[in-house]
């Protein structure tokens, strides 16, 4: 099985383009590109963390800006997650398994990481109960 890596020169150009946005605190690469399991046509999964002062209504526009910039420079389909509004499990997965490509040296970003990890572990018992309930329903075929 052949895997495909991102051209580092192009990736640096993308980061230089994106970090002009002063509200952007961090950028992560996650998914198959971060794990080294990307195939020829795999998309690029990017997560962006913004300053808490950014209005939530702006997130869609910011996602589109990143998707456009990255897809034009890397000639690939791009999926963008705004970490500020991602579910706890996805935040944790990105922070644990993703690659931080850019970080504006800022305490807010570190506070976010700590809070995201706490949210994940607070939610974990609930998730486990939900999974156990689903497994029980599947086994007993009670839908």
Sign of CA dihedral 20, 25, 31, 34: positive
**Tokens standing for 14?**
């993308």
Contact 104, 25 (CB under 8 A): yes
Angstrom distances, CA of residue 43 to CA of 37, 71, 85? 11, 9, 21
CA 34 – CA 44 distance, rounded (Å)? 9
| Residue 39 DSSP symbol | -
Angstrom distances, CA of residue 19 to CA of 13, 23, 33, 87, 104? 10, 9, 20, 24, 8
CATH, domain range 8-141: 3.30.460.10
pTM of the predicted model as reported, rounded to 2 decimal places: 0.78
SS3 annotation, 47-84:
EEEECCCCCHHHHHHHHHHHHHHHHHHHCCCEEEEEHH
pLDDT at 110 (0 to 100): 77
Q: Report residue 97's pLDDT band, with 50, 70 and 90 as the boundaries.
A: very high
Query: What are the tens digits of pLDDT across the range 21-78?
Result: 999 999 999 998 888 888 888 889 999 999 989 999 999 999 999 999 888 888 889 9
Q: Report residue 4's pLDDT band, with 50, 70 and 90 as the boundaries.
A: low
């Amino acid at each position: 099985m052949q895997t495909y890596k991102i051209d580092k020169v192009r990736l640096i150009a993308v980061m230089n383009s994106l970090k002009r946005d002063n509200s952007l605190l961090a950028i992560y690469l996650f998914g198959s590109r971060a794990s080294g399991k990307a195939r020829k046509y795999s998309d690029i999964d990017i997560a962006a963390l913004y300053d808490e002062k950014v209005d939530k209504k702006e997130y869609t526009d910011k996602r589109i800006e990143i998707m456009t910039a990255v897809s034009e420079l890397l000639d690939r389909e791009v999926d963008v997650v705004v970490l500020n509004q991602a579910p706890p499990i996805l935040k944790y997965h990105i922070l644990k398994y993703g690659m931080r490509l850019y970080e504006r040296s800022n305490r807010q970003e570190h506070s976010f990481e700590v809070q995201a990890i706490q949210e994940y572990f607070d939610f974990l018992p609930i998730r486990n109960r939900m999974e156990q309930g689903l497994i029980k329903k599947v086994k007993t075929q009670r839908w």
